[in-house]
Amino acid sequence: MMEQGRLLTKLADGTIRQVNPFTGTEILTIPGRSERPAANNVPSPQKVEKRNPEDYCDLCEGKYFNTPPEKERLIPKDSGYVSMKDLSAGELSLSQPLFRRIPNLFEIFTYDYWRENFGTTLSHENELRKKRYLADNDSRHHLLNVIDLKLTRTGRDPSSVDEKQKLAMADAFFGGGHELIVAGKHYVGESWPIPRLYSSGEMSPEEHFHFFKFTISGMAACYDVNPAVRYVVVFQNWLRPAGASFDHLHKQIVAADRHGPVIEQMLNAARRNPDIFSELGPVMARELRLLIAENEHALAFADIGHIYPTVTIQSKSRTCDPCRFNDDELRGMSDLVHSVHRAIGGSTSCNEEWYYAPRGAGISMPWRISIKQRINTPAGFEGVTGTYIIPIDPINLRKQLLLRLPGCVVP
């Protein structure tokens, strides 16, 4: 393992220097800088008119027709939850979902990307789904309305595009690989007249477990829909400073044709040292006193060398693919991620990023989830030097979060 003195060093003036063990990126926390106002302050909550159904953004219940045809929803039933798939437009208002899985209207890798570069076409099953949706008058109207909305928001006149072209564009809704897992509500139900946004930490542990399980179901579907997919990226942007287009809780699932350089750096490190994730997980967390919480299946620790203050939750399972986790292993990861979100609080913008071994990599790489607080903004100094200044170091980040985690702290 890299010497501790190189990973995390305290200088004579109190500056904390970190070095990312995978990338070599240098991070500094300088005394006095942390007292500066946060660069990414979130506006204070304001009074909001309570409306039922909620219609505060395009992901809300009152604006279902502003989003593409729904693929799946999870609804409470009896003492558990059931999945409902491929509802028609007329069925959308007949149940109250805990979560919905919908296509992203503005994909990162578009359907044209897959079609033009890989020859991807709609599967027989997805072709039938599209035909069934178009056969229902209300559903057909919904689909065309969403295409018109997309055209308008990209600066095109919907009347300049004929219906045949619009229906071809709709292939992305049935065979695309960029999806959203959307929470059923925008605000916490009992928090009026100044409501709290419904964030990950506002859920119960059971709801959060199903949030994870439902996301992984969508992740598996993205692998299945297109044989050209080599990696499915999963992330959550919470609040505008973290890149969210809507202040409405949702995860994103993006099918990609490659896993990218960050995962490749991790795989290369594991090829050189098969114990790297143990050394940079439980061993490092304990030796440097960065451990925040632990259960039978996972541990959470303040991580080193990230350009934002970061907590990483690492699985203890021998299974590397989240799609193959059993419920106990998945719940272990979910519970710690949920606890960290709860400790950070719903008013702090953050990114939740999932890292796992690509299928067929042949490398043992545990599932890791990093939660990065977007409370600083890299600027000119970072661009010139490649050294990043952040307001809180891992040691103090751990102390800060332990104060907010009664009942699951580690001495």
CATH number of the domain where residue 388 is located: 3.30.428.10
Say if 145 falls within a structural domain: yes
Q: Are 32 and 75 in the same domain?
A: no
Q: Are 111 and 13 in the same domain?
A: no
First to last CA, the chain: 24
Q: Are 398 and 287 in the same domain?
A: yes
**pLDDT over threshold 80, residue 362:** yes
Q: Are 23 and 94 in the same domain?
A: no
Q: Are 112 and 11 in the same domain?
A: no
In b/e form, how buried is each residue of 112-122, taking b as 16+ CB within 10 angstroms?
ebbeeeeebeb
Say if 246 falls within a structural domain: no
Q: Are 24 and 78 in the same domain?
A: no
Average pLDDT of 139-159?
A: 96
Q: Of 160, 176, 198, at which residue does a domain stop?
A: 198
pLDDT the model gives residue 261: 94
**pLDDT over threshold 70, residue 44:** no
Average pLDDT of 157-173?
A: 95
Q: How confident is the model at residue 4 (pLDDT cuts 50, 70, 90)?
A: low
Check residues 331 and 411 and name the one with the higher pLDDT.
331
Give the helix/strand (H/E) hosting 175.
helix 171-175
CB 67 within 8 A of CB 61: no
Range of the domain at 183: 61-198
**pLDDT over threshold 90, residue 352:** yes
Q: Are 340 and 266 in the same domain?
A: yes
Cα gap 209→336, rounded to integer Å: 10
Average pLDDT of 60-74?
A: 96
**pLDDT over threshold 60, residue 411:** no
pLDDT the model gives residue 1: 43
Q: Are 184 and 269 in the same domain?
A: no
Q: Of 171, 198, 225, at which residue does a domain stop?
A: 198
In b/e form, how buried is each residue of 261-283, taking b as 16+ CB within 10 angstroms?
eebeebbebbeeeeebbbebbbe
pLDDT the model gives residue 265: 94
**pLDDT over threshold 90, residue 89:** yes
**pLDDT over threshold 60, residue 162:** yes
Partners of residue 231 on adjacent β-strands:
256
Q: How confident is the model at residue 183 (pLDDT cuts 50, 70, 90)?
A: very high
pLDDT, one tens digit per residue, over 102-120 is: 999 999 999 999 999 999 9
Say if 54 falls within a structural domain: no
Residue 66: closest CA among 83, 89, 46, 82: 89
Say if 309 falls within a structural domain: yes
CA dihedral 198, 199, 204, 207 (to 10 degrees): 90
Of 34-48, 143-157, 188-202, 219-233, the range with the lowest mean pLDDT is: 34-48
Q: Are 370 and 304 in the same domain?
A: yes
Q: Are 76 and 154 in the same domain?
A: yes
Say if 102 falls within a structural domain: yes
CB 181 within 8 A of CB 101: yes
Say if 252 falls within a structural domain: no
Q: Are 297 and 381 in the same domain?
A: yes
Cα gap 200→188, rounded to integer Å: 11
Say if 225 falls within a structural domain: no
Q: Of 148, 163, 198, at which residue does a domain stop?
A: 198
Q: Domain tally for the chain?
A: 2
Q: Are 368 and 296 in the same domain?
A: yes
Mean pLDDT of the chain: 92
Say if 242 falls within a structural domain: no
